[in-house]
Amino acid sequence: MENYKDEVHIEPAMMMGDRFEGHIVQGHVDAIGTIKEIKNSGNSYDVFIEVENKFIPYIVPKGSITIDGVSLTVNDVNVNVFRLTIIPHTMKETLFRNYKKGSKVNVETDMFARYVSHIIAHQKNTSSLTWNEVDAINASF
């Protein structure tokens, strides 16, 4: 895997008791993506990012994704590329202002997609999980 050496976007963590809004971001880096194309459509930008195929199952259309610490919503997912639509304010006020074709970015995939995949991969059979099994899986995180 390549080393990443650029800036990342950092926001303070949510505090217990805060109102929950938006996406759950853990700060993990699951993959390094490559900006394949940025299309300016006037009122927004379509940003196409390529990742290794093995990460695509964790990138969900209309799900959350984090690019260099910026929490976003995925629009489309293909074989090894996904598309984001970025509004001008986000493009101007985040690290997206620096990106161009070929830029490398940190990618944190959808947390819920990772959890569901893990649960399904570790089921012993096709029967329903018991609450004890769900508790045991949850405790392993």
- Contact call for residues 27 and 108 (beta carbons, < 8 A): yes
At residue 67 the predicted structure's pLDDT band, cuts being 50, 70 and 90, is very high
Number of C-beta neighbours around residue 57 at 10 A: 14
For the record, the structure tokens of 49 come out as 């990012």
Q: In the prediction, which pLDDT does 127 show?
A: 63
> Looking at the domain covering 31-109, what would its CATH class be?
mainly beta
For the chain, give me the number of helices (H) and strands (E)?
3, 6
Q: In the prediction, which pLDDT does 139 show?
A: 78
Q: In the prediction, which pLDDT does 1 show?
A: 47
**Digit-coded pLDDT (tens) for 74-128:** 999 999 999 999 999 999 989 899 999 999 999 999 888 888 888 888 876 556 7
- Between the alpha carbon of residue 27 and those of residues 9, 32, 91, the distances in Å are 10, 14, 20
**Digit-coded pLDDT (tens) for 13-50:** 777 787 776 667 676 789 999 999 999 998 999 999 99
Q: Where are the chain's structural domains?
A: 31-109, 111-141
First to last CA, the chain: 24
How buried is residue 104: exposed, middle or buried, by Cβ count under 10 Å (0-12/13-18/19+)?
middle
3-state secondary structure of 34: strand
